[in-house]
Homo-oligomer: A and B are copies of this chain.
Amino acid sequence: MNSDLVIGVDLGGTNVKTGLVSNEGKILYQNKFPSNASGSRWEVIKQIELSARDAMEHAGGAEIRGVGVGSPGMVDDHGVVKGPPNFTDFDGIPLQAELERVFSLPVRVENDANAAAIAESRFGAGKPFPDFLFVIWGTGVGGGIIFHGRIFRGPTGGAGEIGHICIDYNGPPCNCGSRGCVEAYVGQRYLSQRAMAKLANHPDSKLLELVGGNLENIEPVYIAQAARAGDAFARDILIEAGTLLGVALGAVMNTMDLRVSIIGGGISASGEFVMDAIKKSVQEHVLKPSRPDIRVLPAKLGNNAGILGAAGLVL
């Protein structure tokens, strides 16, 4: 009956999560294994195999059409993974070829942000839009571009690396060695630092309470929580961050003639007011004729985007 089942693998620095996914994007079963990212390449591949085989065993004898994998790092056209952060021995791995050998099934490997973009396009907030930018706003700022309903990879698979778009050439230094990158303003660590620096002047903020009075404990999730609870200071921090993110998204809209941004990642779930702040800022940074068409929407699939996007690669 379920003749159209696929395996979607979401490879992360901590866990490899695998789902058995139907043609309609329903996750029929899912699991989680440690990814052993500090181990050898063979250990990591072994964990992917264990996780995928476990999911396959729940297919009830139905045929599996293929295996899709979302992986950190750059992924080239042949499914070779390059420089995934937090992995010790996983640079230059021909993961796609390796897994095809292991499973004797069609395998496709794609960058994880691109996979999540595909998931939102097929099953989530992007369904009505043939063209959009998907943004992962979390520890860093990443992205994937959907163009004419398909992922836009660019010449070597690196398109959508929007975290290092510069929004102030005189701005603060970024991890990447440059300065003024949008990630250096709105990435998790920087956002917490800015909140911390400002909180001293706002002793009545709920945020202070949420972190037990200890500024060191500030994390974006608490800023978002305080904002949702109506805390003005926390809202201001996130509105400012959304406004800065919008500057970089404007550059992407101008370059590729896009109108729609879909925002995923932990911080984006703070509420509609963040989307509004991003939208207003994008509108200010694109040409007048496209301003009325600018849309900024929250992602819909949350933590399942990884598995669903990976599945979408082979559906």
Contacts and interface: CB of A to CB of B under 8 A. Distances in A.
Contacts of A165: 250-251, 254-255
Nearest to A154: B257
A32 interface: no
A156 B152 CA distance: 16
A286 B167 contact: no
Given A167-B166, A176-B288, A285-B164, A130 B155 contact: yes
This chain's copy number in the assembly: 2
A293 to B, nearest CB: 9
A92 to B, nearest CB: 12
Given A168-B170, A287-B164, A258 B155 contact: yes
A138 interface: no
Contacts of A254: 161-162, 164-165
Contacts of A258: 154-155
A45 B165 CA distance: 42
Given A130-B155, A255-B256, A257-B159, A247 B288 contact: no
Contacts of A289: 74, 82-83
A287 B176 contact: yes
Contacts of A257: 153-161
Interface string A86-98: 0000000000000
Interface in A218-242: none
A256 B82 CA distance: 18
A54 B32 CA distance: 72
A156 B148 CA distance: 11
Given A130-B155, A161-B255, A166-B251, 7 more contacts: A148-B155, A154-B258, A164-B285, A165-B254, A168-B168, A169-B247, A251-B255
14 contacts: A154-B256, A159-B255, A160-B257, A162-B254, A166-B247, A166-B250, A167-B167, A167-B168, A168-B168, A168-B170, A168-B180, A169-B244, A177-B284, A251-B252
